[in-house]
């Protein structure tokens, strides 16, 4: 099979996988104004609920704890996004320059897994604002924030596993290159 055919096949498989993921998970967030107050009445209601929430020490503690959890997830996502960027750059170098015949398929798979991981990580760092409906009671606010934390944690863990698979693809390439070079230079 020629190099171009393999590349086309990898692209088709990548797009099928990507379309599957998009239909399973809300990857494309096109709701720009989601969770934002749309009028003066909603802004006033939001302010009143926020004041009531912070008067209650339990509500304030819940708010601080859960937002601290979300902040930790954001920081972890930033690190994993950087790692994915480095992985994709290394794969591109292997495919383009070092050993294109050795790194072709595992390199493309590694890029695919790192890219999918990055797309999932973008879901984790999506800006979430509590609405006035969420803040009517500390319990409803806690329930909403727990749901956000749970969903983001799941996305992060899937992304982390995809990055691991990309790392294994890179390890495979490095081992194949090392074995190839060892066989050429006995």
Q: What is the DSSP letter of 136?
A: S
Query: Taking 90 as the threshold, does the pLDDT of residue 7 lie above it?
Result: no
3-state secondary structure of 114: helix
DSSP secondary structure of 33-45: TTTS--SHHHHHH
CA–CA separation, 43 vs 68, rounded Å? 25
> What's residue 144's pLDDT?
83
Residue 83 banded pLDDT, cuts 50, 70, 90: very high
pTM: 0.72
Q: What are phi and psi of 111, to 5 degrees?
A: -60, -45
Looking at per-residue confidence, does 103 or 156 come out higher?
Answer: 156
Mean pLDDT, the chain, whole residue set = 80
CA–CA dist 48, 128 (Å, integer) = 19
* Residue matched to tokens 């500390």: 138
Cα–chain center distance at 8 = 26
Tokens linked to 181: 């070079």
The predicted pLDDT at position 173 comes to 86
Q: Does position 47 have pLDDT exceeding 80, yes or no?
A: no
Helix axes 40-55, 57-93, angle to 10 degrees: 110
Contacts of 93 by beta carbon, 8 Å cutoff, 6+ apart: none
CB 171 within 8 A of CB 94: no
């Amino acid at each position: 099979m020629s190099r171009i055919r393999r590349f086309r096949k990898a692209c088709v498989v990548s797009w099928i996988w990507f379309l599957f993921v998009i239909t399973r998970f809300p990857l494309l967030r096109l709701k720009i104004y989601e969770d934002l107050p749309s009028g003066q009445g909603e802004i006033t209601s939001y302010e009143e609920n926020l004041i009531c929430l912070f008067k209650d020490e339990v509500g304030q503690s819940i708010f601080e704890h859960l937002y601290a959890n979300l902040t930790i997830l954001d920081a972890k996502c930033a690190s994993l996004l950087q790692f994915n960027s480095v992985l994709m750059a290394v794969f591109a170098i292997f495919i383009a320059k070092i050993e294109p015949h050795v790194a072709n398929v595992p390199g493309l798979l590694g890029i695919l897994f790192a890219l999918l991981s990055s797309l999932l990580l973008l879901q984790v760092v999506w800006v979430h604002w509590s609405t006035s409906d969420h803040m009517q009671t500390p319990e409803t606010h806690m329930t909403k924030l727990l749901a956000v934390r749970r969903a983001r944690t799941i996305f992060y863990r899937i992304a982390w596993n995809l990055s691991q698979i990309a790392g294994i693809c890179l390890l495979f390439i490095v081992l194949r290159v090392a074995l190839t070079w060892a066989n050429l230079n006995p």
